Amino acid sequence: MTKGGGKRHLKRYVVSKHIPIHKKAFTFTVRPAPGPHSADDSIPVAILLRDMFQYARNMSEVKRILFERNVVIDGKVKINRKHPLGFMDVVSLPKMQKHFRMVYALKQGLRAVPIKEAETKEKLCKIKNKTAIKEGLIQLNLHDGRNIVLSKDETAKSSYSTHDTIKISLPNQQIIEKYELKVGNYGFVTSGRWMGMHGTIEEISTHGTNKTKTVTLSTPEGEQLVTLLRYIFVVGNKSPSVTITSEK
């Protein structure tokens, strides 16, 4: 007989760099389930509750928290302890009146940043590509696996481009605002050496392909850095439209 399907376990010493756990404390850890984010770029809900927030001492308590419908992700209740959390996901704990947004921290990876309750109704999504579907409509394919089909009127006057960012309402996915990848807007670095850095876009190179084009950012501290265009996630026009850093 042959093996069917992927592995259901995950050893600690090969976990993603985003997961803040001790790699030699035990042998195994929680493997992220297939979902909106890749296993290498996400954190399972169980790790967030038990190891990062320390709201649970063991997996039994994690399951009880989830089965009592105490965790809301992007406006929907989740009970799967392996559900992957990725960049810009919104996590709410209604009974505790605490709300968080998953963002990249410098030299740390994915971390949960506290936000206000009003921000839980909104989420930023990057347009990965566009697809033409039936009846001549346009479908926007977003970074977190979402697909939004534009209406006929929106398709006729569509100005959405790849690498742009849209702000959507949760959980009904209505487009609220659009942020273009252009000079003057505010960008966030999601990969590479400068992952977690953010600032105003000063220059976008025009030579090369989309994989080799670079972007120059000016951080709030006055530092300038250069990274690849595909690593840039636009988070606002002149300033961030959502909370991307925790208050000191």
Contact 21, 52 (CB under 8 A): no
Dihedral sign (CA 136, 140, 146, 148): negative
Domain shared by 19 and 57, yes or no: yes
Report the pLDDT averaged over residues 138-147: 93
- Rounded Cα distance, 86 and 29, in Å: 18
- Residue 11, C-beta contacts closer than 8 angstroms, at least 6 positions apart: 27, 28, 29
Range with lowest mean pLDDT among 4-13, 70-79, 106-115, 230-239: 4-13
Do 21 and 96 lie in one domain? The reply is: yes
The enclosing domain of 150 has a CATH number of 2.40.50.740
Tell me what percent of the residues of the chain surpass a pLDDT of 90.
73
The answer on 219 and 193 residing in a single domain is: yes
pLDDT recorded at residue 217 = 95
pLDDT in tens, 71-100: 999 999 999 999 999 999 999 999 999 999
> Average of pLDDT values for 137-160?
88
| Closest by CA position to 164, among listed 144, 180, 185, 142 | 180
Distance CA 86, CA 103 (A): 8
Do 109 and 145 fall into the same domain?
Answer: no
Residues 45 and 98 in one domain: yes
Check residues 17 and 194 and name the one with the higher pLDDT. 194
Full residue range of the structural domain in which residue 163 is found: 120-179
pLDDT for 4 beyond 70: no
What pTM was computed for the model?
0.90
Does residue 242 belong to any structural domain of this protein? no
CB proximity list for 59: less than 8 A, separation 6 or greater: 30, 46, 50, 81
**What pLDDT is stored for residue 52 in this prediction?**
93
Shared domain for 58 and 100, answered yes or no, is yes
pLDDT interval class at 242 (50, 70, 90): very high
* Structural domains counted in the chain: 3
Q: What mean pLDDT is predicted for residues 149-178?
A: 89
Reply yes or no on whether the pLDDT at 1 is more than 90: no
190 and 153 housed in the same domain? no
Using CA atoms, how far apart are residues 120 and 76, in angstroms rounded to an integer?
A: 11
Are 164 and 199 part of one and the same domain?
Answer: no
Mean pLDDT for all residues in the chain: 91
pLDDT at 3: 65
In a domain, 241, yes or no: no
pLDDT at 2 over 80: no
- Residue 33 covered by a domain: yes
In a domain, 247, yes or no: no
In a domain, 66, yes or no: yes
The residue-averaged pLDDT of 163-191 equals: 94
